[in-house]
Structure 1
Amino acid sequence: MSNVDQFNNDLRGFLDASPTPFHAVETMRLRLDNAGFISLNERGEWQLEAGKGYYVIRNGSSIVAFRCGNTPVRESGWRMVGAHTDSPNLKVKPAPELHRQGYFQLGVEVYGGALLNPWFDRDLGLAGRVNYENTDGDLCSVLINLNRPVGIVPSLAIHLDREANNSRSVNPQKDLPVVLLQSDEPKNFRDLLTQVLSQQGASDVATVLDYELSFYDCQPSAMVGWNEDFIASARLDNLLSCYIGLDALLAADVSQHSVLVCNDHEEVGSQSAVGAQGPMLESVLRRITGDEVSWQRAIANSMMISADNAHGIHPNFSDKHDGNHGPLLNAGPVIKNNVNQRYATNSETSSIFRRLCASQGVAVQCFVVRSDMACGSTIGPLTASAIGVKTLDIGVPTFAMHSIRELAGSHDAFNLSKVLAAFYQLESVSTGN
């Protein structure tokens, strides 16, 4: 098996094991533990040692992992990679029960900017976090994953909507409640969750208090195409970058101070205690440096690469791209540019990245949105403005971004991991200014 094949097999395992941000962070935690990284409790004292790796988790859905280098961080700064753990999905409402025509359904909210039509007629699993009070009166939290089809959103037959192929739109309130089962008796969703917890071994559940649960596509990730040129999966945006960043961090040597931050809530604006507009990353880094002068010197010697998927040029819709900026799948990572600072890239950070790609024999592409279209954004500008670090926005080119199933090239993730591993080992990010 080639290095690329092994990488993609491990990547697919990570994607399939991570239906929610909670599961993604848990999967990353296990890999970090196996690599000798040490979990830090923010409530306690930290005793950090050069050459060792550590990580901090907040809310179970955001993580900062870092290695302590061999030189004072104020002199060398950090090499940072950022990504996000969340993806658009359908989240179960707090009071979701719907009983209609003998069917028991769950009402859902749309999380993020999801493409809604692909959610119809899919085998849907359910996963997330459940909080409950146990029989001793303690508050407990547990992750669940019903890794089987437990729900579906059936389409309306074309015979009942003859204009479906011409003008069908989706009303999230009316059209997306998920069919769970048939029953003439009213059901309570929390009672069903109590049964699930009992089946998973939690026999001490007194009351299910609340939950954060999402439906997801049960179809596993796959290598697709005549020559297996592509990876198809849910949540490529942006678990693909989380995995690439983690793989690069674990592959890099321990001489440099290196950081991987994977934030939750990017798809809804990042304004949360654990989002990129929150204080998590800055508070961890400040705690590492200690005093204010060391913090300012460290940031001045640092660089952040924000890794989030880029729009590959679609052969059926090529007019949606600027003619000179149409990234191809399997043609290298994409530098993302926007003069209005929707991306944090500047000529200095992009030049550093181009040199890194050249050093690894990896081609590089660039993306600029059409001048008559709005541009999305990433955690890059948010992090850059929050802590003042020079930043670059890049990503793997992707089709069907924000669909229930996305598509990326089978070589791009592996190549970007090599570049990011080289970045983590870069001695200086100074260009003489």
Structure 2
Amino acid sequence: MTSAPARFDRGHTDDLISFLTASPTPYHAVSVAAQRLEKAGFRQVEETEAWDSTTGGKYVLRGGAIIAWYVPEGASPHTPFRIVGAHTDSPNLRVKPRPDFAAHGWRQIAVEVYGGPLMNSWLDRDLGLAGRLALRDGTTRLVNVDRPLLRVPQLAVHLDRAVSTDGLKLDKQRHLQPVWGLGDSAHEGDLIRFLEEENGLPEDSVTGWDLMTHSVEPPAYLGRDRELLAGPRMDNLLSVHAATSALAAVSASSADLPYIPVLAAFDHEETGSQSDTGADGPLLGTVLERSVAARGGGYEDRARALAGSVCLSSDTGHAVHPNYGERHDPTHHPRAGGGPILKVNVNNRYATDGAGRAVFAAACEQAGVPFQTFVSNNSMPCGTTIGPITAARHGIKTVDIGVAILSMHSARELCAADDPMLLANALVAFLKG
């Protein structure tokens, strides 16, 4: 990988490329984030054990979610939190419980559509397979076949003449099942036996799995001056990476922080966040409450801490598309390369209000980072994030922000190469308070 000439040091973006490559699934993403926090002095605490009152960095892992926090010297039971929220999952194709089948001489893998992907972006693309295996002994194993293994072949134009006039129409059940070999029959268990062999596991040791496809094409700088970044899963591993980097930097820079900085990276945002590892589950609230209790606090201290807390919900947003400018609000045109965006929606699809805007503006000013505002075109329905969920569930002032990208929910997305670093710098200033 060669760094590109740039306005800024591209070290952060080079590191983001490494993070994206190493994180084909939410489980890998939180594992990589945990490894980076370990190097910064954080230690893992188990949810099933008693927590102590020691200062320093701590984190909890659960499936595809990670909550990490840094307790500075002198923190009281009612010290407020500064939280950066993000999500680890991305739309993709996920393996069904009975994956092996064959049709017309092709061996195939049965998949289910996860979230809302741009389905055409998964066609004719070399796909790997990654996820976690549950073993007979009660443990789990992360696996990653990061080479061309699967492919969803598109129908030739000669057999679909209407595609040129009516556009591509895909049926999620019939048209998105990938091929991975030749043969008139497939035996149940073929895929799992293959993964056992690939990972040196005994035969029949796998009793459960959470497996998903990913494009094996690596992230890359793009353009004449290589000022663009193309890559997979930037929605929303770009934010997870920035928040992890910011938390590690803040923990190393100061021991007298006025807030307790927190990273909260959840799974299942793309499907509504309602799971034990999603933002609409109890994980964050439980961790914050236990952190207060470990420092000797009770209900009153927890209430005081949350009342003074702020969360930045960081998720990618929409840059103005050069070919579809009319789809955007005419007075709000966030541009790639213009710094992070503040997301606003008066119907609470985003959690930002005026007071929250002031918090983010102050952080950007302190960091010397420009920021922009995104508001949806009134004629277009607005997406949403973990922001409103966090605000409603925990009573914490929440602000929705992110980096402007193109091709959101594609197998491969696009942003300005310097924007990830600008976001990370703003997050550092926010966490420092």
TM-score (norm 2): 0.94
Amino acid at match of 1:169: K
How far apart, in 2, do the equivalents of 1:76 and 1:23 lie?
32
DSSP 3-state at the match of 1:4: coil
Q: Which residue of 2 aligns with 1:281?
A: 284
User: Aligned to 1:173, what secondary structure does the other structure show?
Assistant: coil
Query: What per-residue deviation string (whole Å, max 9, x for no partner) do you get for residues 212-270 of structure 1?
Result: 11011000000111111111001000000000001111111343311000000000000
- 1:299 aligns to 2:306 (yes or no): yes
Q: Which runs of 5+ in 2 are unaligned?
A: none
Contact 1:131 1:141 (8 Å CA) reproduced: yes
| Aligned counterpart, 2:210 | 212
Contact 1:74/1:297 (<8 A) preserved: no
Q: Which residue in the other structure is 2:61 paired with?
A: 57
Structure 1 unmatched ranges of 5 or more: 427-433
Look up the equivalent residue of 1:19 and give its one-letter code.
P
Answering whether residue 253 of structure 2 is matched by residue 249 of structure 1, we say: no
Pairing 1:91–2:94 present: yes
Corresponding residue number in structure 1 for 2:25: 20
Q: 2:50 aligns with which of 45, 48, 53?
A: 45
Aligned 8 A contact 2:336 2:419 in 1: yes
CA distance in structure 2 between the partners assigned to 1:214 and 1:75 by the alignment: 42
CA shift for structure 1 position 205: 4.2
* Offset of residue 351 of structure 1: 1.1
Matched, 1:197 2:196: yes
1:172 counterpart = 2:166: no
Give the whole-Å Cα distance in 2 for the aligned partners of 1:73 and 1:230.
44
Matches within 5 A, 1:105-120: 105-120=108-123
Q: Is the 8 A contact 2:99 2:191 kept in 1?
A: no
Equivalent position SS for 2:140: strand
Shift of 1:303: 0.5
Distance in 2 separating the partners of 1:171 and 1:285: 44
CA contact (8 A) 1:66 1:259 kept: yes
What is the DSSP-based 3-state SS (H/G/I as helix, E as strand, rest coil) of the residue aligned with 1:214?
strand
Distance 2:326 2:342 in 1: 20
Partner of 1:315: 322
Specify the alignment match of 2:362 in structure 1: 355
- Post-superposition Cα deviations, 1:1-46, rounded to whole Å, max 9, x if no partner, equal 7863111111100001101001101111111111110100011111
1:181-229: CA deviation from partner (whole Å, max 9, x where unpaired): 01234333x3432343233232x34342221110110000001111111
| 1:122 paired to 2:125 | yes
Q: TM-score under structure 1 normalisation?
A: 0.94
Equivalent residue number for residue 31 of structure 1: 36
Conservation of the 8 A alpha-carbon contact between 1:74 and 1:301: no
What is the alpha-carbon distance in structure 1 between the residues aligned to residue 224 and residue 24 of structure 2?
Answer: 27
Q: How does 1:325-340 map to 2 (within 5 A)?
A: 325-340=332-347
Name the CA distance, whole Å, in 2 between partners of 1:357 and 1:98: 53
Q: Which residue identity does 1:28 align to in structure 2?
A: A
Contact 2:78 2:302 in 1 (8 A): no
Establish whether residue 151 from structure 1 lines up as the match of residue 158 from structure 2.
no
Distance 1:292 1:279 in 2: 17
| Correspondence for 1:5 | 10
- Partners of 2:249 and 2:283 in 1: how far apart? 25
Does structure 1 residue 382 correspond to structure 2 residue 383? no
Q: Contact conserved, 1:73 with 1:298, CA < 8 A, in 2?
A: no
CA displacement 1:289-336 (0-9 Å, x = unmatched): 121001001011110000000100001000000011111000011000
Equivalenced residues, count: 418
Supply the RMSD in Å over aligned alpha carbons: 1.4
* SS in structure 1 of the partner of residue 221 of structure 2: strand
SS at match of 1:98: strand
Contact 2:87 / 2:268 at 8 angstroms: preserved in 1? yes
Tell me, in whole angstroms, the C-alpha distance in 2 between the residues paired with 1:4 and 1:331: 16
**Aligned equivalents of 1:329, 1:307: Cα separation in 2:** 16
Contact 2:344 2:375 in 1 (8 A): yes
- Structure 2 distance, partners of 1:199, 1:180, is 15
Identity among equivalent pairs (%):
41
1:210-249 to structure 2, matched below 5 A, reads 210-249=208-247
Structure 1 window deviating more from structure 2 (205-214 vs 123-132): it is 205-214
Per the TM alignment, residue 341 of structure 1 is displaced from its structure 2 partner at its CA by 0.4
Amino acid of the structure 2 residue aligned with 1:176:
L
The CA distance in 2 between the partners of 1:381 and 1:103, in whole Å, is: 46
